[in-house]
Structure 1
């Protein structure tokens, strides 16, 4: 029987990019990861499939720089 792999994980870095791009010191990593998750949930709730005005969001990318967050919402 063959091994099962996740298709997105298999293609990351080759045909697809990561959905988040940032670096954190190990102490702050869990905090920033939760913040990313909350941002994605909020955007999905307000604009995505769960909202009344479905905006047809296909992807949300998050890039962090020193003291700012760049959000890229693709439709």
Structure 2
């Protein structure tokens, strides 16, 4: 039997890009832990905001966090107050200057992660699993 290659790793650089876009020699472990804590903090704070993906780009002493979500209004809040609060919360994880960008996922039905979260919430609300699956397939 041959060696198995993970499909995501196989597609990187061809049709997909990396989730974190930066390079560092000496502080690699520190930045990696910062990235993981930032992503975990965002997902914990906005469990029901339909977060599809979180990308982090770094350059020198700046970090840009791009959040892809199906419901940007939950994250942005009234008058952008939610973004300011999120930026202040994320600033605790890193000493770099943070920029937060919110991108809307137009068709949530085409994103596998959002569809799976939708089915999971339906199952938690005790919806019949066949009905939840049929709704997901029909909406896609």
Runs of at least 5 residues in structure 1 that lack an aligned partner in the other structure: none
Q: Tell me the secondary structure at the aligned position of residue 58 of structure 1.
A: strand
Could you list the structure 1 runs, at least 4 aligned residues long, displaced by more than 6 angstroms after superposition: none
Counterpart of 2:6 in structure 1 is 6
Count, aligned residues: 69
Higher relative contact order at CA 8 Å, sep ≥6: structure 1 or structure 2? 1
The structure with the largest alpha-carbon Rg is 2
1:35, 1:12 → 2: CA distance?
22
TM-score (norm 2): 0.46
- State how far apart, in whole Å, the 1-side matches of 2:5 and 2:43 are: 27
Gaps in structure 2 of 5+ consecutive residues: 70-140
Aligned CA RMSD, in angstroms, stands at: 1.2
Indicate the residue corresponding to 1:67 in structure 2: 61
